[in-house]
Amino acid sequence: MANPRTKNDDVKLALGLVGPGLVGKALLDQMRDYLPVLRETRGIDVSVLGIANSRKMLLSDRAIDLSNWQQVFNEATHPSDLVGFRDHLLTCKDPVVPVIVDCSASDHVSDFYKIWMESGVHVVTANKKVNSGPLERYQAVRSLQKDRKVHYFYETTVGAGLPVISTIKGLVDSGDRIASVEGVFSGTLSYLFNNFKAGARFSEIVAEAKASGYTEPDPRDDLSGTDVARKVANLARESGLELELSDIPVRSLVPKELESCETSEEFMRRLPEFDGKMTRLQEEAARAGEVLRYVGSVDVAAGKGSVELRNFPASHPFAQLGGTDNIVLIRTKRYDPQPLVVTGPGAGADVTAGGVFADLVKLCAHFGAPS
Amino acid sequence: MANPRTKNDDVKLALGLVGPGLVGKALLDQMRDYLPVLRETRGIDVSVLGIANSRKMLLSDRAIDLSNWQQVFNEATHPSDLVGFRDHLLTCKDPVVPVIVDCSASDHVSDFYKIWMESGVHVVTANKKVNSGPLERYQAVRSLQKDRKVHYFYETTVGAGLPVISTIKGLVDSGDRIASVEGVFSGTLSYLFNNFKAGARFSEIVAEAKASGYTEPDPRDDLSGTDVARKVANLARESGLELELSDIPVRSLVPKELESCETSEEFMRRLPEFDGKMTRLQEEAARAGEVLRYVGSVDVAAGKGSVELRNFPASHPFAQLGGTDNIVLIRTKRYDPQPLVVTGPGAGADVTAGGVFADLVKLCAHFGAPS
């Protein structure tokens, strides 16, 4: 049966997903539900032809059935090989656009972007490691993007699905000058300080957050500020600064004495010893009519990034945060004195997967899908 | 002299600007300053080949010198003809991408989008009239966009350069469902109610806003709410509703008795007669710990849009607005219960022109410019 004419105009994506964890799973679910609509209404035809984690991979010559991928993946036995994974996408016979979506958090996976992009494979990522990792690797990816005309989308690396990266990009692309970017970039640390009010004990709020699933399994991974620093490094580079992660001073909230605790349980048991110190900071802020917030900042003129615990007056947008929301405040030549502010859930599988999915649709626009 | 190889890869835009008013002028200035950088770094080569207002137009076979366009335009004598304007862009010999940028606010100009797009001319607009005007015209433009694969960008039609339209588009494109969009969409009305506090007189704040240049020459054009209703119609359509502007009930702040004032001076002179009524509303809100805000809303489930004066508790994001800022609050299947919120200057020549410029760069991405 001949394809109707419009089918020949379809943009065909051969997609490989690396990292079928929480975000990857949510993305596969969203694609299962919405790809039929995109095919029908927009001529966007996405076939998932591979799924890989750190141990093994599933390769398929036909679009993997997204209502049943988990079972098929469970049965896969092929050891993970991220070069072979790329090669599989490149063997597709149709005129297709090869793209690898990285929903892992792996530094190892990040080392493959260069190899993928050199072969003309486009990359959409939720993984923060390239944009915040070694400048050399980052710049190699940027050069390939330009020289090989491959696309690289990473909206979700700051604020998940919130429009942060694309907003900064639009400003820079139109000749605006970023002056500063600052915000609360961790849902966990947002929650902790939004709830750290008079009478509260910091360690108890950490315990609550852990119980609610708002922290990493070891809360020190949040409290160390490293994840926030990665976002600051990423934003600094978007703003035109060439900063290494190590250039960014980070105020860790893990007491020195507890860094060496062997288990997160031991850490949590001993954390109350340091409540007094945190309470003093909270009270000091309250006396000035202010609140504590854990913020990441990029100051473009000073050429610096930082991650700090700072006081903000009650009228400041950061003081009005709720829940686990992120907030990003962008000042530019044009957005001055009033900044451009984006607020909302900046973590979570669904909104992150949604941001990745939106990046995929943007990628298709580059290959003729209607805007 | 042979062009260097990279020059052949350039994306070449043949651009015609309709409406060299405040926004159009700012755009030409921004392009004068930043196009050389875009050409060098991104291979984006934009030539402004025509400028038109309602009376006359300037057509040029070579890129108009943007440091001197005003003088050349002043000397132009060719009567405005928006079909001839299009034809001029289509006669360019190079393989160029023809685009018309509409920085007017004209309904008449909006009637030409269809004619332009039928010929394969792309449209970038800051003009709200098509997206909020008759559904039939709007849908014709949408059909052409799809069938002729022409592009249509209009980020600045709500909130100027704030990422509102693109954010909703990304959500819808990735299968999210918009539940509601509400916000303060008028810088003027934002200012009036942000400053309408205990002891203030509404008419005096209107007079201050007028003196500061925050209102239209006749403040009734702001107070009528029509401009807000246009944004609501636009957002409703982005959210999947097929609403006519006339389907949206609007709470006008122009007292019935003053609708017929012949001049804005007469209106301003008589406005204090109605201060008592406004003060009562303000006091009633204050007694409940609330504030008044003039908001536009789209309720997707109810299939409705509205423009109202409503009360909001002090903790609500709308209550925390300052200056002439806009705010947009988007609730979706994924952004629930916490919404996605964008705040910032939503009017002004520079940020609006910047948003139009960013749209132009996005258009270039569709023709091979690196992302």
Write the DSSP string, A32-60.
Answer: HHHHHHHHHHH-EEEEEEEEE-SSEEEE-
The answer to whether A52 and A85 are in contact (CB under 8 A) is yes
* Bridge partner list, B14: B47, B98
What is the per-residue pLDDT for A8?
59
CATH 1.10.3720.10 fits B165-345, yes or no: no
Residue B2 above 80 pLDDT? no
Tokens of residue A92, six digits: 């597709």
Distance, CA of B273 to CA of A63 (rounded, Å): 70
Bridge partners of A15?
A48, A99
Instruction: Give residues with Cβ within 8 angstroms of B196, minimum separation 6.
Output: B202, B205, B278, B282, B292
- Select from A166, A338, A344 the Cβ nearest to the Cβ of B344: A338
Instruction: Using CB atoms, pick whichever of A33, A37, A370 lies closest to residue B145.
Output: A370
- Determine whether the interchain pair B361/A174 forms a contact, defined as Cβ–Cβ distance below 8 Å: yes
Count of residues in chain B: 371
- CA dist., res. B237 & res. B112, Å (int): 20
Query: What is the C-alpha to C-alpha distance for residues A30 and A33, in angstroms, rounded to an integer?
Result: 5
Alpha carbon of A263: minimum distance to chain B alpha carbons (Å): 33
Nearest to A341 among B343, B362, B370 (CB): B343
Residue A82 has pLDDT above 80, yes or no: yes
When pLDDT is averaged across residues A171-185 and rounded to a whole number, the result is 98
Report whether pLDDT(B286) > 50.
Answer: yes
From residue B335, give the alpha-carbon distance in Å to each of A354, B183, B184, B362: 10, 16, 19, 26
Residue in A126, A127, A223, A163 with CA at minimum distance from that of residue A345: A163
Give the minimum alpha-carbon distance from B156 to chain A in angstroms, rounded to a whole number.
12
Q: Measured between alpha carbons, how far is B367 from B96 in angstroms, rounded to an integer?
A: 10
Q: In what order do the strands lie in the sheet with A122-125?
A: A78-79, A56-59, A44-52, A11-18, A97-102, A122-125, A152-153
Q: Mapping DSSP to helix (H, G, I), strand (E, B) and coil, where does residue B111 land?
A: coil
Residue of chain A minimizing CA distance to B149: A370
Choose among A341, A362, A364: nearest CA to A159: A341
Q: Which CATH architecture has domain B5-161+350-365?
A: 3-Layer(aba) Sandwich (3.40)
Nearest CA in chain A to B9: A149
Q: Report the pLDDT value the prediction gives residue A6, as an integer from 0 to 100.
A: 41
Q: Look up residue A366 and give its DSSP letter.
A: T
**What are B309's two structure tokens?**
């004066």
**Contact B154/B184 with Cβ under 8 angstroms?**
no
> How many beta carbons lie within 10 A of that of residue A164, not counting itself?
28
B148, B122 Cβ separation under 8 angstroms: no
Selected for mutation to probe chain A from B39, B144, B173, B359 (highest A CB count within 10 Å) is B173
Which pLDDT score, from 0 to 100, does residue A79 have?
A: 98
The C-alpha atoms of residue B16 and residue A95 are separated, in whole angstroms, by 35
Integer Cα distance of A275 and A19 in angstroms: 38
pLDDT (average), residues B334-357: 97
Q: Assess contact for B148 and B120: CB atoms under 8 A.
A: yes
CB B117 within 8 A of CB B144: yes
Going by pLDDT thresholds of 50, 70 and 90, the confidence category of residue A3 is very low
pLDDT level of residue B371 (50, 70, 90 thresholds): confident
* pLDDT value at A66 more than 80: yes
Cross-chain Cβ contact B357/A34 below 8 Å = no
Encode pLDDT of A91-137 as tens digits: 977 679 999 999 999 999 999 999 999 999 999 999 999 999 999 99
Predicted confidence (pLDDT) at residue A1 exceeds the cutoff of 50: no
Q: How far apart are the first and last CA of chain B?
A: 30
Asked if the C-beta of A240 comes within 8 angstroms of chain B's C-beta atoms, the answer is no
Catalytic residue among A231, A256, A304, A333: A231
Q: What is the mean pLDDT of chain A?
A: 95
Model pLDDT for residues B251-263, shown as the tens digit of each residue: 999 999 999 999 9
Q: What are the catalytic residues of B?
A: 231
Give kind and range of the element (H or E) at residue B326. strand B325-332
**Helix pair B165-173, A349-365: axis angle to 10 deg:** 100
User: Which chain A positions have a beta carbon within 8 Å of B160's beta carbon?
Assistant: none
> Do the annotations mark residue A355 as ligand-binding?
no
Q: How many CA atoms lie within 13 A of B250 on its CB side?
A: 20
Q: In Å, how far are A68, B218, B268, B301 from A168, measured between CA atoms?
A: 38, 36, 41, 33
For B124, the 3-state DSSP assignment is strand
Please tell me which residue of chain B has the smallest CA distance to A33. B175
Is residue B178 classed exposed, middle or buried when 0-12, 13-18 and 19+ CB atoms within 10 A define those classes? buried
Is A337 annotated in a binding site? The answer is no
Report d(CA A63, CA A60) in Å as an integer.
7
Q: What is the pLDDT of residue A369?
A: 81
Q: What is the pLDDT of residue B269?
A: 97
pLDDT over 90 percentage in chain B: 92
Q: Of A165, A316, A291, give the one whose Cα is nearest residue A239.
A: A165
CB < 8 Å to A317, chain B: 320, 343
B324: nearest CA partner in chain A: A338
Work out the angle at residue A37's Cα, subtended by the Cα atoms of residues A32 and A40, and round it to the nearest 5 degrees. Answer: 130
Rounded-to-integer distance, Cα A371 and Cα A232, Å = 31
The label of the residue with tokens 């939106």 reads A358
Query: How many other C-beta atoms are found inside a 10 Å radius of the C-beta of residue A105?
Result: 15
| Per-residue pLDDT tens over the stretch A301-360 | 999 999 999 999 999 999 999 999 999 999 999 999 999 999 999 999 999 999 999 999
Closest CA to B265 of B222, B202, B207: B207
Q: Which residue shows structure tokens 């509703």?
A: B241
- Cβ contacts of A287 within 8 Å, gap of 6 or more: none
- Which residues, other chains included, contact B78 with Cβ-Cβ below 8 Å and sequence gap of 6+? B56, B57, B58, B59
Residue A11 near residue A367, CB atoms below 8 Å:
yes
Backbone angles phi, psi at B186, to 5 degrees: -125, 120
Tokens of B115: 């004619």
Residue A9 has pLDDT above 80, yes or no: no
Reply yes or no on whether the pLDDT at B10 is more than 90. no
Domain boundaries, chain B: 5-161+350-365, 165-345
Residue with tokens 């030539």, as numbered in its chain? B47
Contacts of residue B43, Cβ cutoff 8 Å, sequence gap at least 6 = B6, B9, B10, B11, B369, B370
Instruction: State the pLDDT at residue B8.
Output: 59
A171 touching B (Cβ < 8 Å)? yes
Could you give the CA distance from residue B191 to residue B189 in angstroms, rounded to a whole number? 5
Q: H or E segment at A116? A: helix A113-118
Q: Is pLDDT above 50 for B281?
A: yes
Q: Which of B12, B29, B39 is nearest to B103 (CA)?
A: B29
Q: Which of A264, A227, A262 is nearest to A248 (CA)?
A: A227
Residues 23-52 of chain A whose Cβ lies under 8 A from any Cβ of chain B:
30, 33-34, 37-38, 42
Question: Residue B345: its chain A contacts at CB < 8 A?
Answer: 335, 338, 340
Chain B positions touching A324 (Cβ under 8 A) are 338
Q: CB-based burial of residue A332 (10 Å sphere; 0-12 exposed, 13-18 middle, 19+ buried)?
A: buried
Q: B366 touching A, CB under 8 A?
A: yes
Please state, in angstroms and as integers, the Cα–Cα distance from residue B6 to each residue in A117, A134, B2, B40, following that order.
20, 29, 11, 10
Instruction: State the burial class of residue A136 (Cβ atoms within 10 Å of its Cβ: 0-12, 13-18, 19+).
Output: exposed
Residue A161 to residue A348: CA distance in whole angstroms: 9
What is the percent of chain A with per-residue pLDDT over 70, rounded to a whole number?
97
Chain A residues near residue B214 by CB distance under 8 angstroms:
none
Across chain A, how many H-helices and E-strands are there?
A: 16, 12
Main-chain dihedrals φ then ψ at residue A23, nearest 5 degrees: -70, -45
Where do the DSSP E strands lie in chain A? 11-18, 44-52, 56-59, 78-79, 97-102, 122-125, 152-153, 178-184, 290-299, 304-313, 325-332, 340-345
Position B149 confidence tier, pLDDT thresholds 50, 70, 90: confident
Integer Cα distance of B218 and B116 in angstroms:
33
Residue corresponding to tokens 């805007």: A371
Res A14: pLDDT? 96
Residue A306: count of CB within 10 angstroms of its CB: 20
Is the pLDDT at A5 greater than 90? The verdict is: no
Q: What is the pLDDT of residues A198-222, one digit of tens each?
A: 999 999 999 999 999 999 999 999 9
